[in-house]
Structures are given as structure tokens and as C-alpha cells.
Amino acid sequence: MHYLIYFDESNKLDQFNANYSYYGAYGGTDAAMARVVKQVRNIFKQCNSFSELHFREYTKDNLVKKYFQTLHTVINENVQINILTVNNRDALYAAQKIGLTATELRNLFYIS
């Protein structure tokens, strides 16, 4: 059996521009993820919008259908979702105590 995992982050720890960083991952079997990808491509085609989904760039109500339909598709499929919110100040303080740089700490979130 094969699995696919998608990972993304927002407000990176080592950019020092926000109080919190957000990390999210979702994944499932290759068959489940193939269904999600196919459905999302159809949503994009129906909405005539093929750009990536970035909530920080969501500024136009004409994209609301695309965003909500895509979210609906993903959360209603047989996938696992993990979301992690990191208090940057606390995380950087802990890293400093054990001798890690901000970049080294950020890289730890990518270890599988």
C-alpha cells in the first residue's frame, strides 16, 4: 500500500514576523489522494481559477466557492489531517536553551 502526504506551513519560525506559526499536513492512501486531486482539479475548472489556495491571499469573494468546495472535498474524503499551531516566542526560547538556531528548529518540523 502506498501513501501520499501533503505538508504546508504559514508564518515560518525563522522569519520573525508573527507570534504564531502554523503547520498542516494531510495524507491518505494513494487511491484516496488521487480522488481528492481529481475532484479539486474539477472544482478549479468549474470556477475557472487555477491558482493555488492561500488563505492569506484570499481577498476576493468571487473565490469563496472554490475555497469552500475544495475544503469540503478534502475533509470529507478518507484522509488524516494534522494541524499544529506553534507559539514562536516559546519555541525559539526552547530552541535557544538547547543550542538550536531558528532555522535548525524550523527544519525539525520537516523530519518524518
The yes-or-no verdict on residue 112 having pLDDT over 60 is no
- Encode pLDDT of 50-90 as tens digits: 888 876 666 777 788 898 999 899 888 877 888 889 999 99
The yes-or-no verdict on residue 97 having pLDDT over 80 is yes
Is residue 33 within 8 Å of residue 80, measured between CB atoms?
Answer: no
- Looking from the CA of 70 toward its CB, the CA atoms found within 13 Å total 21
Q: Is the pTM of this model over 0.95?
A: no
Domain of 78 in residue numbering reads as 3-108
The structural domain count of the chain equals 1
